[in-house]
Amino acid sequence: MHSPNRELRVELGDRSYPILIGSGYLGTMDLTPWVAGDRVMIVSNETVAPLYLDAARRCFAGKTVDTVVLPDGEKYKNWQTLNLIFDGLLAHRHSRKTTLIALGGGVVGDMTGFAAAAYQRGVPFIQIPTTLLSQVDSSVGGKTGINHPLGKNMIGAFHQPEVVLIDTATLTTLPPREVSAGVAEVIKYGLIRDVSFLAWLEDHIEQLMALDAEIMVEAIYRSCACKADVVAQDEREGGLRAVLNLGHTFGHAIETFAGYGNWLHGEAVGTGMRMAADLSGRLGMLGEADVRRVNRLISRAALPEVPPVEMTPSDFMELMAVDKKNVDGHLRLVLLNALGDAVVTGDFDISQLQSTLEAFAGNRSPEKALGRI
């Protein structure tokens, strides 16, 4: 197939943009209608560039195409690496008529988007996400940024892309661990907004994990539809958008504790969603059978069941205290009122949170911890 077979729009007035989804069309797709000037800068990394840079270049026939290839990894999502993009733009004398192209996973996408938000006070950019996680989450919605040693994604900007091009064929080169990490975010959409999608995932999770092209396009389409709908209602996270962070408060604590890059973002979110479901159960919001249903689906996606073994409940409390959802130092979490119905709240019994943290990260050997959950 040489064109996308599904299309969605993120409706944001004059900043609306399409999400194109299909399999095997990167390299034959003409993206120049979304490029205003005559130059583009493709930003990728040392893993993705050898695989897909040539195909991406072909999307911009007739334009001058420069490239910046970054080191690969979450640990490079920082100021120093960001500066390599500005170095490239300035060395090649890109004006404010340039368009930046993010070719890679969420790390490249977030950094390129942030560079686009800041370069000459803001230039357009295009997302070509190549991991499942970036195809269903980070490439859509305009959150861009970098990490700080004291907190993940703490420096950034909202900056929407011109278009998102999703080619599921790029997933065939993705390591299985990265596929699982992406599936965690797919499951998230079913849990927060769409119980019928959750049931569909329960029926198709093995095909999804095996990268069945039709199932994958459908899962990405439904995930992006959910995200686009939430972003259209609450672009700057005044309220609703925070539900997209189910499992992320626990997950960010895990990622920061483990050291950026040691746990994948989606892996940490998978464990975090178990913890959020557990707490929702303890608070009487979710029945036991539903908590078990969440755990079973996350297990089928081959995601880790418990946080790093050295991590304690007080590590969680300390790291969760810097979460962006907190208001005036008051912890807020995304919990589940029911499957398919998430809520953001600071109104919960803190002793039940302690019980969840004890169950997942209390005095334990990994085997004991697994037995308790």
Kindly give, in sequence order, each residue whose CB lies less than 8 Å from that of residue 363, ignoring residues fewer than 6 positions away.
none
| Known catalytic membership, residue 241 | yes
358 neighbors 314 (Cβ within 8 angstroms): no
The site partner of 190 among ligand NAD, ligand GLY, none (C-beta below 5 to 8 Å per kind) is none
Are residues 51 and 172 in contact, defined by beta-carbon separation less than 8 angstroms?
no
Nearest to ligand GLY of 98, 256 (CB atom): 256
**23 near ligand NAD, judged by CB under 6 A:** no
Residue 153 sits in the site that holds ligand NAD (CB under 6 A): yes
Work out how close the CB of 283 gets to ligand NAD at its nearest, in angstroms, rounded to a whole number. Answer: 26
Residue with tokens 């943290």: 357
d(CA 295, CA 161): 34
Residue of 152, 159, 193, 241 marked active site: 241
The single-letter DSSP state of residue 336 is E
**Rounded Cα gap, residues 236 and 143, in angstroms:** 9
173 binds, among ligand NAD, ligand GLY, none (CB under 5 to 8 A by kind): ligand NAD
Q: For residues 187 and 180, is the Cβ–Cβ distance under 8 A? A: no
Residue whose token pair is 């590590």: 315
For the chain, how far is it from start to end, CA to CA, in angstroms? 45
6 is an active site residue: no
Number of residues that bind ligand NAD (CB under 6 A): 29
When CB distances are held under 5 to 8 angstroms depending on the partner's kind, the choice from ligand GLY, ligand NAD, none that residue 249 binds is none
Give the x/- contact pattern for ligand GLY in 88-127, rule: CB under 6 A.
----------------------------------------
- Residue 240 interacts, among ligand GLY, ligand NAD, none and using kind-specific CB cut-offs from 5 to 8 Å, with none
The residue with tokens 């958008």 is 241
Find the catalytic residue in 178, 218, 235, 237.
237
Q: According to CB under 6 A, which residues from 29 to 58 bind ligand NAD?
A: 45, 47-48, 51
Residue 181 contacts ligand NAD per CB under 6 A: yes
For ligand NAD, the nearest residue by Cβ is 106
Q: Kindly list the distances between the CA atom of residue 4 and the CA atoms of 39, 62, 169, 193, 224, in Å, as whole numbers in the listed order.
A: 24, 22, 11, 26, 14
Among 39, 222, 248, 293, the active-site one is 248
364 is catalytic: no
- Integer angstrom CA distances of residue 352 from 218, 252, 283, 302, 305: 37, 20, 7, 27, 20
Binding mask 241-270 for ligand GLY (x = CB under 6 A): x--xx-------------------------
Q: How far is the CB of 9 from ligand NAD (least distance, A)?
A: 18
The stretch among 169-177, 285-293, 294-302, 337-345 that binds ligand NAD (CB under 6 A) is 169-177
Q: Taking CB under 6 A as the rule, does residue 323 contact ligand NAD? A: no
Q: Hey, what long-range contacts does 275-278 have (CB within 8 A, 24 or more apart)?
A: 275/247, 275/250, 275/356, 275/357, 275/360, 276/246, 276/247, 276/249, 276/250, 276/333, 276/334, 276/335, 276/336, 277/191, 277/336, 278/356, 278/359, 278/360, 278/373
Q: Which of residues 76-115 bind ligand NAD (CB under 6 A)?
A: 77, 104-108, 110
Nearest distance from C-beta of residue 276 to ligand GLY, angstroms? 14
Task: Determine the interface stretch with ligand GLY among 52-60, 119-127, 239-247, 266-274 (rule: CB under 6 A).
Answer: 239-247
Length of the chain: 373
What's the rounded Cα separation, in Å, for the pair 324 and 305? Answer: 25
64 binds, among ligand GLY, ligand NAD, none (CB under 5 to 8 A by kind): none
- Name which of 256, 281, 252 is nearest 269 in CA terms: 252
Question: Alpha carbon of 110 to those of 50, 90, 114, 144: distances in Å?
Answer: 20, 20, 6, 4
* Contacting residues toward ligand NAD, per CB under 6 A: 45, 47-48, 51, 72, 74, 77, 104-108, 110, 130-131, 133-134, 137-138, 141, 143, 153, 170, 173-174, 178, 181, 265-266
Residues making contact with ligand GLY (CB under 6 A): 137, 141, 143, 241, 244-245
Give catalytic residues, as residue numbers.
Answer: 121, 143, 185, 227, 237, 241, 245, 248, 252, 265
